[in-house]
Each structure stands twice: as C-alpha cells, then as structure tokens.
Amino acid sequence: MPQLGEAAALSRLHQAGLTDAEVDQIRAEVSPLTVPYNTFHGDWCHLGLADLLAAVTATWLPEDWRSETGEVTSFYTWAMRLANSTGP
C-alpha cells in the first residue's frame, strides 16, 4: 500500500465516516503508543490495527506508555469497535 499524504489519509478517514474531531480524538488516544512503537521498529510508512494492538502490550515500552491489563482490554474493545464501524 503506498504511503498516503495527510490530505489523502484524511479523505479516506472521512469516507469511512469519521469527522475531523473524531480523527483528532483517535490520534490523541493512539499517539502515546504509536510514536515509541514506530521508533523502536523504524517503520513510519504503515501502522495497522495488529501493530497498534501489539504496541498496547509491548513490554519494552516505558512504564508510563504501557497499559494495565484492564486498560488493554478496554483499548482492544475500543479499537476493534472502531475498526468494525468505519467500513473499508
């Protein structure tokens, strides 16, 4: 999959039914996980749902970036609900 520019990515998110406010909220939620995860792996082109869920439980992340077990379950439920509700 080719890397998307910001405008193209926002367009795809809007087509999936997300508003700018929802996109901002999602980014705020996942950024504390994705930034260190991507830094560790050096992959800035794509981060999929499986990577996001792996980042939630990564033991090498600093303590303040890791979720407790209950938070992991809540985060997983939130992420899966979002993935299932936004279409292709």
Three state DSSP letters for 25-84: HHHHHHHHHHHHHHHHHCCCCCCCHHHHHHHHCCCCCCHHHCCCHHHHHHHHHHHHHHHH
Give the pLDDT score at 1: 44
Looking at the structure of the chain, the number of domains it has is 1
Residue 7: inside a domain: no
Give the pLDDT score at 64: 62
Domain span including residue 43: 20-85
pLDDT of the chain along its 88 residues, tens only? 445 578 888 888 898 888 999 999 988 888 877 888 888 777 666 778 888 888 887 777 666 655 555 677 888 888 898 888 866 5
Give the pLDDT score at 74: 83
Give the pLDDT score at 24: 93
Give the pLDDT score at 19: 92
Residue 11: inside a domain: no
Q: Extract the tokens encoding 32.
A: 């504390």
Contacts of 36 (CB under 8 A, 6+ apart): 55, 61, 62, 65
Residue 25: inside a domain: yes
